[in-house]
């Protein structure tokens, strides 16, 4: 029997880590993930695919570690002996990176360097080829230089997070060019899902909306509604990560939908879906503004389409609705979509009764 391919994922407990793990398990991989020790469980997103490691069928294994701890990264690499490494771990919140710049840069920038150094030594010592994926971000484009943004668009990062991602991007290019490492940068635009962290704007909206519908919340507070983002579906985006590591040559790719929408449009579609007017529920709080904002992101995914055969499968409106559906379902409220027409009327009466409009 042939051995399954072994992959190592940093950030396995995050949104993307969980979808990528599912994809790799489906493809027959043995998946190893690095998790941080926390005082409460942080494995909610992967609990459904975890099988106790004593079980002979187990193919998902977790290891304690941290991108700020290079010794442990090296030890895990030696133990796991992966052929693919996906570096998704990060303090990934842009606003928070202004509050905690040193930690953000340490985990995002230096963390990537620590991992690359560990891989370089491991590969030189064992002769085993390791393929490396770096989770780059459209935030690296920052202040608008060109529309749409593509692989050749100059970076102009506008946050500690984005500066650290630019550093990690160029280190990845340098390890490819200096040591022949099979290293790819994905430059991924915003991607969302029901598993999106609760403080990112899309999930913050859909979660609050569900609570408004349930009658347990009256208002939600947001910052800049004018910002425009190219929002896609996370499940589609982890497929692109995997595809990059299956090519004959390493390269860098923009992954995006090619469409941009204001935060306001997300609100309109989400609230409109349950027949509410968002302006009745959304208030402004300057706490959610950033010292420097990224006003407009729109990606050109032509290269990923051409070379990887990658396509997004979910439209913006479908994405908003699937996130609203999931947050409603989590509170036991049925979807207001067409297949529940009778229910939709009921829901709207229910909503009006609960929120008093």
95 binds, among ligand NDP, ligand GDR, none (CB under 5 to 8 A by kind): ligand GDR
- β-pair partners for 6: 30
- Closer residue to ligand NDP (CB): 214 or 240: 240
Token pair of 122, please? 């491991």
Token pair of 297, please? 């992101």
- Considering the complex, what minimum distance in angstroms separates the CB of residue 129 from ligand GDR? 28
224 binds, among ligand GDR, ligand NDP, none (CB under 5 to 8 A by kind): ligand GDR
Q: Is 244 within 8 Å of 308 (Cβ atoms)?
A: yes
139 annotated active-site: yes
- Closer residue to ligand NDP (CB): 172 or 190: 190
- Considering the complex, what minimum distance in angstroms separates the CB of residue 291 from ligand GDR? 11
The DSSP string of 245-267 is: TTSSS--EEEE--S--EEHHHHH
Contact positions toward ligand NDP, by CB under 6 A? 10-17, 34, 36, 38, 42, 66-68, 88-92, 107, 135, 137, 188, 190-191, 197
- Considering the complex, what minimum distance in angstroms separates the CB of residue 44 from ligand GDR? 18
30 annotated active-site: no
263 binds, among ligand NDP, ligand GDR, none (CB under 5 to 8 A by kind): ligand GDR
Query: First vs last Cα of the chain: how many Å apart?
Result: 64
300 binds, among ligand GDR, ligand NDP, none (CB under 5 to 8 A by kind): none
∠ Cα 242 205 226 (to 5°)? 90
- Closer residue to ligand NDP (CB): 36 or 305: 36
Contact positions toward ligand GDR, by CB under 6 A? 92, 94-95, 137-139, 189-190, 199-202, 204, 222-224, 227, 229, 263, 288, 290, 293
> Beta-carbon neighbour count of residue 67 at 10 Å?
25
Which H or E run contains 134?
strand 131-137
- Closer residue to ligand GDR (CB): 25 or 144: 144
- Considering the complex, what minimum distance in angstroms separates the CB of residue 212 from ligand NDP? 24
293 annotated active-site: no
- Closer residue to ligand NDP (CB): 200 or 350: 200
- Closer residue to ligand NDP (CB): 48 or 54: 48
- Cα Rg of the chain (Å, integer): 21
Instruction: Pinpoint the alpha helices (H) of the chain.
Output: 15-26, 70-80, 94-99, 101-105, 111-126, 160-179, 201-214, 234-244, 263-273, 302-303, 316-330, 341-355
- Considering the complex, what minimum distance in angstroms separates the CB of residue 11 from ligand NDP? 3
Q: Which of 29, 161, 167, 237 is catalytic?
A: 161
The DSSP string of 80-121 is: H--SEEEE--S---HHHHHHSHHHHHIIIIIHHHHHHHHHHH
Q: Is 190 within 8 Å of 92 (Cβ atoms)?
A: no
- Considering the complex, what minimum distance in angstroms separates the CB of residue 79 from ligand GDR? 29
- Known catalytic residues? 137, 139, 161
């Amino acid at each position: 029997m042939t051995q399954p391919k072994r992959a190592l994922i940093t950030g396995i407990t995050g949104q993307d880590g969980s979808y990528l793990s599912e994809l790799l398990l489906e493809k027959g991989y043995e998946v190893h993930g690095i998790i941080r020790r926390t005082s409460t469980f942080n494995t909610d997103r992967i609990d459904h695919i975890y099988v106790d490691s004593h079980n002979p069928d187990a193919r998902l294994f977790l290891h304690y570690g941290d991108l700020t701890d290079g010794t442990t990264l090296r030890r895990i690499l030696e133990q796991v002996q992966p052929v693919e490494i996906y570096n998704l771990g990060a303090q990934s919140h842009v606003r928070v990176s202004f509050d905690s710049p040193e930690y953000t840069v340490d985990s995002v920038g230096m963390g990537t360097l620590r991992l690359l150094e560990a891989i370089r030594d491991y590969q030189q010592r064992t002769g085993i080829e390791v393929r490396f994926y770096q989770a780059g971000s459209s935030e690296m484009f920052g202040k608008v230089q060109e529309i749409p943004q593509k692989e050749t668009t100059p970076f102009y990062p506008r946050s500690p997070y984005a500066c650290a991602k630019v550093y990690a991007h160029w280190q990845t290019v340098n390890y490819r060019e200096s040591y022949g490492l099979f290293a790819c940068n994905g430059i991924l635009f915003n991607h969302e899902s029901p598993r999106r962290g609760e403080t990112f704007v899309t999930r913050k909206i859909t979660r609050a909306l569900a609570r408004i519908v349930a009658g347990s919340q009256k208002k939600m507070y947001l910052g800049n509604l004018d910002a425009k983002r190219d929002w896609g579906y996370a499940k589609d985006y982890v497929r692109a990560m995997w595809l990059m590591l299956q090519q004959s040559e390493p390269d860098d790719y923009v992954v995006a939908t090619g469409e941009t929408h204001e935060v306001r449009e997300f609100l309109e579609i989400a609230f409109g879906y349950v027949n509410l007017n968002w302006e009745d529920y959304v208030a402004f709080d300057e706490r959610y503004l950033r010292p420097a904002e990224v006003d407009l992101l729109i990606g050109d995914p032509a290269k990923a389409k051409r070379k990887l055969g990658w396509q997004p499968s979910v439209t913006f409106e479908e994405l908003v609705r699937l996130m609203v559906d999931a947050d409603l379902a989590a509170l036991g409220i049925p979807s207001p979509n067409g297949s529940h027409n009778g229910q939709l009327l009921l829901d709207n009466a229910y909503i009006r009764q609960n929120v008093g409009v």
